[in-house]
Structure 1
């Protein structure tokens, strides 16, 4: 059964398809289509942004009447001619799979073109180098606090932490820059913060703070509030929205969390185990620390093998993530992490609900956009996913490697195998799953020799790893057709297709 279209009116270039009235219009003038061609277009519109196989299209349009693929090809040709779709951007052919209607998908997020853009640079550590994770964490918390408001665009941390000064921030597209320094003396923290306009370099605001232990959290709140007061003429919610409570009352727990997050971003095998230990220690210091519970849940799934995590471990991870959301329901990162965990558990609807809640709470967070885009890809909606990923990369242009990994899957989903391979080739990881994905892309491109050589490398690195089993079980697709699509590429690389 066909899914109901999300809207009765679909814009296709300079044409409008009105499914309610059964008309294709250019302006106010009807565009002529024969009945079968219109039926085909309507069916594609009801699955907009998704690949529809040739067999499904033929069954939907011609039913039990026997026709060849020539009839389908002719109807597609007629639709493209009616839409003036000479470059095939609206009705896309997905090689060896079918067709997809792409009516100019856009990210479901606020227009940021008229909002001021802010870069929070890496704070200078004026004390012991061992305190670097704490200093970076303070700056990241300011970023997280600012991105909760819809009155500005805050550039992603992985981009802004590479900028050496306000002028470098200007080259990233920032209108304003936040710079700071931190010195720690035992439990005392001395923090200096400056907000400046760029590239002019004028100082908008500057302040110094001193805090003992957990008193640092009201300082972070004040920094966020001072920046907002100077950049925002008004807030959507008629006042500063604060979370239901600070994440923890323990500076020790906070520092343990930051060290765990730092290790989780590493690529060495021992990094994830170390991260788990830090998160568990943070929870021991403060059992009510919701974000620590959520990060622990994510770490369990990473250690378990992502979508290959055994069911008992997934249940433990979901419980930890859910506890995080219960303890901190207004913390967007808790919702984001639980959404990722539930995706690995193939709870697609629940995962999407939490990721959308995270984006609602933190509407300019690039990481959440990419992860929601990845989830939509695995739900069979790669064009929607790519639109979100494009928006995220504008906010966070110097992004972490995993953005390319997620984008590669969306590009593979729409049949852009060359683009998907390029994303995977940018990654430095030599993991078997990355190489298996790359081999599938190369095989679909027709580069059989390169694909087989890539799988040979997989066998050298991990003799027990099965590329075919990974293709069928290692990615949390919602629909079997997407599983078969990836498996098809791997089988071609193996020489079995």
Structure 2
């Protein structure tokens, strides 16, 4: 027997779906505003909760493993639970529990589920949400996710439940942070209080509360909050200097500035740029915490196993890239010891990104799940599942670790590039100017290359010790010479000179050796360039563009088989790399030099299809197709080049690529087949 529910407007949607599911707080379901009586069985409610959030088909064996700890008849109990779930969610004309083969799916596409609404808004980007909707979303939190639904002797479900609670607390904190930055000053205290309740160790909320109190002249309350917070942090063994500094700065601002009732501006996605003593303003980097991975094969905390080893390797390899501020292993492992989850840890450490994951071994197969999340928006920006046979445990972990690190670095670079392009140019710090430069650099045309050069010069001026900015600037001069956009000699010298400055800034940065390798190749020193690229790989085996450049040099005048191997490895590490056209093109050139023209043509066509493929890449496709006898296709690619470069000839390609005599002769042969008469 149901009863009508008078819930608040944040949860009720009277004109929306008839079936509404509340997971944020105590599980509740209503149909047409009438609360449904839920079964007393925790297993039924747990099954309903899990399937509501899953959004996909789940095998019966997975559900049995999740909810039952070696029962007499798990499948029989599952059938009974499913019958109860059907009684709650199915309508006479609408079956929402879908059983197909050996899988179960709860189809709630036409229903309102608060947790799914929150997750969707977070993934779309809360920085774009209007304050009115932010209030509604924040109001949906009536408590912890599936409050009170723990099940005795169901460790797998309880582990999942704990992870979801941490995830949605992070979402709640992110919504409240955005609200604080979007509403009038007199409204923020209620939101700050809720934020403090769910994230008491988040540096940012304390800083904002102290600023708000100082602006309002509520000095006594500020002093009381300072004392209580310092005591809380020190009791937990955490550094409290930041909050004393924040209060001192807030008092100073309030004493020198008139009180203004306004909104509090907060960066939507990045952690505060004035992170106490973690990073100086001049050399700011994006920061990241890699949390220990969960070992799904153990029910107790056993340290030193493969999961801990993988997290340690990822921390070490990310540090070798030299582009990110990495939280030390000791800190993140200590937080895990205290039961601090990834989302809370990210806020406690005031980092921009958090990596978390799990490891599971089933027989001879190892499965690793990993995700990268933005701390201040609780948005999952990348997630992947790696599954591989265990021929050699350490070799497999090494291979998967390489892929994880390369993917994390690539995703963060993409996010930072896209963020920087939206910022006013005169507001950029060195890190942001560098990524603004990368955004233009990867467009690989003359005008964008000029803009990239400007932003890299800005980054170098702001931070002369920033090796990556020097490397980017060197690359723009390399492009000018390689593409023929400026006189080759001076641009070659400039690329070499600035690559040297990059090495002087940080000779442990693989990008510095990458820049020097390219400059040496441009000068005709192929052997020395290979040495530099291999040094970059030694410093960071995950540095995909170094593997690509090894392939590039070998493809033009070296070991063609080695070129193919390095190209494949680069693509394996970074399958969506902005330089993917080059990786494919290097493979095609190597295949041409091996006389495997049909294969070369196929790979060259793939390279030319990339959106940022420039004229030389399309020329490789045209002449490879000609060598393979596919003349009509070859002429189409050559015609696309001549639309913008009507005088382009095969010698332009040979000069740019610096082919050895064998390679040059083959590409000239391709040109002859296209133009038999001359």
TM-score by length of 2: 0.39
Match in the other structure for 2:645? 462
Match in the other structure for 1:197? 358
Aligned match for 2:525, one of 327, 347, 354: 347
Match in the other structure for 2:544? 366
- 1:345-494 matches, within 5 Å, as 345-399=523-577, 400-426=580-606, 427-429=609-611, 431-463=614-646, 465-477=647-659, 479-494=660-675
Cα drift, residue 202 of structure 1: 10
Cα drift, residue 325 of structure 1: 0.8
Q: Judging changes above 3 Å, is the alpha-carbon distance between structure 1 residues 129 and 272 closer, same or farther for their aligned structure 2 residues? A: farther
Match in the other structure for 1:257? 434
Cα drift, residue 299 of structure 1: 0.9
Quick one: distance in 2 between partners of 1:413 and 1:282? Answer: 41
Match in the other structure for 1:326? 504
Match in the other structure for 1:242? none
Q: Is the 1:153–1:395 contact (alpha carbons within 8 Å) kept by the matching residues of 2?
A: no
- 1:241-256 matches, within 5 Å, as 252-256=429-433
Cα drift, residue 476 of structure 1: 2.2
Cα drift, residue 321 of structure 1: 0.5
Q: Judging changes above 3 Å, is the alpha-carbon distance between structure 1 residues 467 and 139 closer, same or farther for their aligned structure 2 residues? A: farther
2:508 is paired with a residue whose SS is coil
Q: Judging changes above 3 Å, is the alpha-carbon distance between structure 1 residues 263 and 183 closer, same or farther for their aligned structure 2 residues? A: farther
Q: Judging changes above 3 Å, is the alpha-carbon distance between structure 1 residues 433 and 391 closer, same or farther for their aligned structure 2 residues? A: closer
Deviations 1:191-218 (A, max 9, x none): 35242215799999999999xxxxxxxx
1:483 is paired with a residue whose SS is helix
Quick one: distance in 1 between partners of 2:446 and 2:311? Answer: 32
Deviations 1:40-83 (A, max 9, x none): xxxxxxxxxxxxxxxxxxxxxxxxxxxxxxxxxxxxxxxxxxxx
Q: Judging changes above 3 Å, is the alpha-carbon distance between structure 1 residues 442 and 256 closer, same or farther for their aligned structure 2 residues? A: same
Q: Judging changes above 3 Å, is the alpha-carbon distance between structure 1 residues 202 and 489 closer, same or farther for their aligned structure 2 residues? A: closer
Q: Judging changes above 3 Å, is the alpha-carbon distance between structure 1 residues 322 and 192 closer, same or farther for their aligned structure 2 residues? A: closer
Match in the other structure for 2:448? 271
Alpha carbon RMSD of aligned pairs, Å? 4.6
Cα drift, residue 413 of structure 1: 1.9
- 1:19-58 matches, within 5 Å, as none
Deviations 1:116-150 (A, max 9, x none): xxxxxxxx997756969x9xx737998xxx99969
Q: Which structure has the higher relative contact order (CA within 8 Å, separation 6+)? A: 1
Larger gyration radius, structure 1 or structure 2: 2
Q: Judging changes above 3 Å, is the alpha-carbon distance between structure 1 residues 450 and 316 closer, same or farther for their aligned structure 2 residues? A: same
Q: Is the 1:370–1:388 contact (alpha carbons within 8 Å) kept by the matching residues of 2?
A: yes
1:138 aligns with 2:286: yes
Quick one: distance in 2 between partners of 1:462 and 1:203? Answer: 47
2:357 is paired with a residue whose SS is strand
- 1:84-123 matches, within 5 Å, as none
Deviations 1:259-297 (A, max 9, x none): 212222235543222211111001111223222112111
Cα drift, residue 340 of structure 1: 1.6
Q: Judging changes above 3 Å, is the alpha-carbon distance between structure 1 residues 472 and 204 closer, same or farther for their aligned structure 2 residues? A: closer
Quick one: distance in 2 between partners of 1:382 and 1:141? Answer: 40
Quick one: distance in 2 between partners of 1:394 and 1:487? Answer: 32
Count the aligned residue pairs.
306
Structure 2 unaligned blocks of 5 or more: 1-170, 179-265, 274-284, 291-309, 322-340, 362-366, 377-396, 399-427
1:351 is paired with a residue whose SS is helix
Q: Is the 2:358–2:368 contact (alpha carbons within 8 Å) kept by the matching residues of 1?
A: yes
Runs of 4+ in 1 over 4 A off after TM superposition: 124-132, 139-142, 146-154, 178-184, 198-210, 306-309
Quick one: distance in 1 between partners of 2:632 and 2:542? Answer: 43
Quick one: distance in 2 between partners of 1:205 and 1:387? Answer: 29
Deviations 1:378-403 (A, max 9, x none): 22311011112222333333443332
Match in the other structure for 1:214? none
Cα drift, residue 491 of structure 1: 2.4
Cα drift, residue 179 of structure 1: 8.0
Q: Judging changes above 3 Å, is the alpha-carbon distance between structure 1 residues 335 and 182 closer, same or farther for their aligned structure 2 residues? A: farther
TM-score by length of 1: 0.52
Q: Is the 1:380–1:482 contact (alpha carbons within 8 Å) kept by the matching residues of 2?
A: no
Deviations 1:322-374 (A, max 9, x none): 11112211111110122122222222122111101101111232221121111
Q: Is the 1:290–1:325 contact (alpha carbons within 8 Å) kept by the matching residues of 2?
A: yes
Match in the other structure for 2:472? 295
Q: Is the 1:339–1:352 contact (alpha carbons within 8 Å) kept by the matching residues of 2?
A: yes
Q: Judging changes above 3 Å, is the alpha-carbon distance between structure 1 residues 199 and 491 closer, same or farther for their aligned structure 2 residues? A: farther
2:352 is paired with a residue whose SS is strand
Q: Is the 1:332–1:362 contact (alpha carbons within 8 Å) kept by the matching residues of 2?
A: yes
Deviations 1:154-175 (A, max 9, x none): 8xx9xxxxxxxxxxxxxxxxxx
Q: Mean Cα displacement is larger for which, 417-426 or 296-305? A: 417-426
